[in-house]
A = this chain, B = another copy of it.
Amino acid sequence: MSLLDLEKNELDQLAADVRARYDALKAKDLSLDLTRGKPSSEQLDFSNVLLALPGEGNYRDQTGADVRNYGNLAGIGDIRELWAEVLGVDHANVIAGDSSSLNIMFDLISYSYAFGNNDSERPWKDEEKVKWVCPVPGYDRHFTITEQFGFEMVQVPMLEDGPDVDAIEKLVQDPQVKGMWAVPIFGNPTGISYSSEAIERLATMETAAPDFRIVWDNAYAVHTLTNEFPDNPDVISIAAEKGHPNRFWYMSSTSKITFAGSGVSFFASSKENLNWYSQIAGVRGIGPNKVNQLAHARFFGDAEGVRATMRKHAASLAPKFEAVLEILNERLGEYNVATWTEPKGGYFISMDVIDGTADRVWELAKQAGITLTKAGASFPHGKDPRGRNIRLAPSLPPLDEVREAMDGVATCVLLAAFEKLGA
Contact = CB atoms under 8 A, between A and B. Distances in A.
A20 interface: no
Contacts of A54: 51
Given A56-B48, A59-B51, A99-B98, A106 B285 contact: yes
A284 interface: yes
Interface residues of A, number: 56
B58 A41 contact: no
A218 interface: no
Nearest to A115: B148
A36 interface: yes
Contacts of A49: 56
Contacts of A284: 102-103, 106-107, 145
Quickly give the copy total for this chain: 2
Interface in A1-50: 36, 38-39, 41, 44, 47-49
Given A56-B48, A98-B99, A262 B285 contact: no
A364 to B, nearest CB: 27
Interface stretch (A190-198, A230-238, A288-296): A288-296
B285 A68 contact: no
A113 interface: yes
Most chain-B CB neighbours within 10 Å: which of A44, A55, A148?
A: A148
Contact of A289 (B36, B47, B71, B98): B98
Interface in A113-129: 113-115, 125
Contacts of A99: 98, 288-289
A259 B291 contact: yes
Interface in A271-292: 280, 283-292
A93 interface: no
A171 interface: no
A56 B51 contact: yes
Contacts of A36: 70
Interface string A48-74: 110111111111000000111111000
Contacts of A285: 100, 102-103, 106
A53 to B, nearest CB: 7
A262 B70 CA distance: 8
A144 interface: yes
Contacts of A411: none
Contact of A55 (B51, B71, B291): B51
A53 B287 CA distance: 21
Given A68-B260, A106-B283, A114-B125, 12 more contacts: A41-B66, A44-B68, A44-B69, A48-B59, A52-B55, A68-B261, A70-B260, A102-B285, A102-B286, A103-B284, A114-B149, A262-B290
Interface of A: 36, 38-39, 41, 44, 47-49, 51-59, 66-71, 98-100, 102-103, 106-107, 110, 113-115, 125, 141, 144-145, 148-149, 255, 259-262, 280, 283-292
3 residue pairs, one from A and one from B, having the closest CB atoms: A262-B291, A106-B284, A68-B259
